[in-house]
Amino acid sequence: MRELLRHVGSVHNLVIFEAVARLSSFSRAATELGLTQPAVSQAIRRLESAIGTRLFHRNHRAIALTDSGNRLYADVADGFSRILATARQIGRAAQSEHVTLLVSTAFATWWMVPRLAEFRALHPAVDLRLETLDKDVEIAAEATSLAIRRGDGTWSGYQSALLTPERITAVASPSFLQRHGPIRDLKTLATLPLIYLDEPHRYRPSWREFFEHFGVPFRDRGDGLRLNDYALVLQAAMAGEGIAIGWQHICERPIAQGVLTSVGHWTYTSSAGFYLVWSSATALTPATALVRDWILGHRDIGDDA
């Protein structure tokens, strides 16, 4: 850069030179740049002095580039054009950049949304958008930045960090428990109205796995309310329609609000967990890294990890 300035005097001189050469006029260049014509003429003389040669043929009514001027203009115009194109691309990216987090409806409703005010207060410039889907999809294919997935933390093409182990219990509304009295054992629990989650596109533990974990025989009789979205399952449980399987990280807030309550003390931690995942093929943008770190700052690993 020091050598360039020695040859041109100032980058400002190049800006003025480009305008004069493009418009073939000192006066029109001065108008475009908001300068006086003498200031433009002085800048061109300084540039010619620094380079050591004339750049324009000056006639009484017109100017024309010399051979040296033509060579310099070709490179200056090309360079400025490239800089402009890059600046436009960067500007568009900065204006349109947002972070998309792919989650289930229940996770969005009961985990993310209650925490969004905190996130926005900490990072008001980050445009965080939640996208809910009922299946796990490829992040890159969906132009998604981050996602929450259930599994063992190993997915080809992804990096992951444990948000919480999978802790499962039974939950119901306080009114349901009042109607059905205290539930002291799992055999009694199995006879009561149960709400089933029938996920069509991804595996989730069922009531059968829940009872089998505690060594209690269970047969799905085909009755009970069956829903394909966990947010609907929780809504039905809150409405007193039955007992639902409760994932602890989702249910802790409605339990704290008193719209759900744990049924008994039966809780188990499976071998799976819920992970925050992102593509290993591309580097995270600064905004995405902020969202990732903020989410992981709320993880609940406890003694199970």
At 7, is the pLDDT very low, low, confident or very high (cuts 50, 70, 90)?
Answer: low
In this predicted structure, the answer to whether residue 92 has a pLDDT above a threshold of 60 is: no
Strand positions, DSSP E, 83-222: 99-103, 128-132, 146-151, 158-172, 194-197
Domain ranges of the chain: 2-96, 100-296
Question: Alpha-carbon distance 69 to 66, whole Å?
Answer: 5
What's the pLDDT at 90?
A: 60
DSSP lists the bridge partners of residue 168 as: 247, 268
- Whether the CB-CB separation of 292 and 276 falls below 8 Å is answered with yes
Q: What is the CATH number of domain 100-296?
A: 3.40.190.290
Question: Alpha-carbon distance 106 to 234, whole Å?
Answer: 8
Q: Per residue in 144-166, pLDDT tens?
A: 689 999 999 999 989 999 999 99
CA distances to 53, 214, 242 from 210, in Å? 87, 7, 16
- Whether the CB-CB separation of 289 and 146 falls below 8 Å is answered with no
At 88, is the pLDDT very low, low, confident or very high (cuts 50, 70, 90)?
Answer: low
Average pLDDT over residues 6-19: 84
Question: Alpha-carbon distance 238 to 86, whole Å?
Answer: 54
Question: Alpha-carbon distance 40 to 146, whole Å?
Answer: 53
What's the pLDDT at 1?
A: 65
What's the pLDDT at 293?
A: 96
Q: Is 193 helix (H, G, I), strand (E, B) or coil?
A: coil
In this predicted structure, the answer to whether residue 93 has a pLDDT above a threshold of 70 is: no
What's the pLDDT at 70?
A: 92
Fold for the domain defined by 2-96: Arc Repressor Mutant, subunit A (1.10.10)
- Compare 89 and 38 and report the one with higher pLDDT: 38
Token output for 125: 């410039």
Average pLDDT over residues 126-131: 91
DSSP lists the bridge partners of residue 244 as: 171, 195
Average pLDDT over residues 33-44: 92
- Compare 276 and 304 and report the one with higher pLDDT: 276
